[in-house]
Amino acid sequence: MRFFEDLKVGQRREIGSFTFTAEQIKKFAAQFDPQRFHLDEEEGRKSLFGGLAASGWHVGSVCMKLLVADGLRQAREAMARGEEVAIWGPSPGFRELRWIKPVLAGDTITFASEILSLRNSSSRPGWGILEARNSGTNQKGELVFSVLAIAFVPRRGSGG
């Protein structure tokens, strides 16, 4: 993962794709969001979604999963090049979590992250604050998911 100094507003990165199977949709829903349209194909078809739809929290969690995997991949690549690796801090929150279109069983969602703003952290010297739009697009090219994420990113040489 990169240091604050290496980031630029407008940088965009594809972070990976994920196919939501009916089985995964139902399994997540049974544990965390057992609404009828997330649990049963027929109920999904009868709902506003028009099909068995993934819980929005499932979509957000999968986006997080791919972000973390992408970060680890970037870290491994940097280490392989002999570069110092930045370890990002936790996120204080997300804004504007939007489920724009349903994610239905069989849909493949490709997630991307684009840097919207960068600023200094006043509370944590040595850290900067990144704001990024993480989004998901389905196999038809339709935007289905979007969230503004905020993260603490260490500055080079801060020991972060």
Site of interaction with its own copies (CB under 8 A): 31-35, 37, 47-49, 53, 55-57, 60-62, 64-65, 68-69, 72, 89-100, 102, 147, 152
Q: Which residues contact 80 (CB under 8 A, 6 or more apart)?
A: none
Q: Give me the least distance between CB of 46 and its own copies, in Å please.
A: 10
CB closer to its own copies out of 91 and 110: 91
Burial environment of residue 21 by CB neighbours within 10 A (0 to 12, 13 to 18, 19 or more):
middle
**Eight-class DSSP state of 113:** E
CB closer to its own copies out of 8 and 125: 125
End-to-end Cα distance, the chain = 12
Q: Give me the least distance between CB of 65 and its own copies, in Å please.
A: 5
- Give the 3-state secondary structure of residue 153: strand
CB closer to its own copies out of 9 and 32: 32
CB closer to its own copies out of 10 and 159: 159
Q: Give me the least distance between CB of 14 and its own copies, in Å please.
A: 19
Q: Give me the least distance between CB of 68 and its own copies, in Å please.
A: 5
Radius of gyration of the chain (CA): 18
Q: Quote the Cα angle for 28-62-92, to 5°.
A: 110
Residue 106 tokens, joined: 């069989």
Q: Give me the least distance between CB of 89 and its own copies, in Å please.
A: 5
Residue 88 tokens, joined: 């990002």
CB closer to its own copies out of 8 and 152: 152
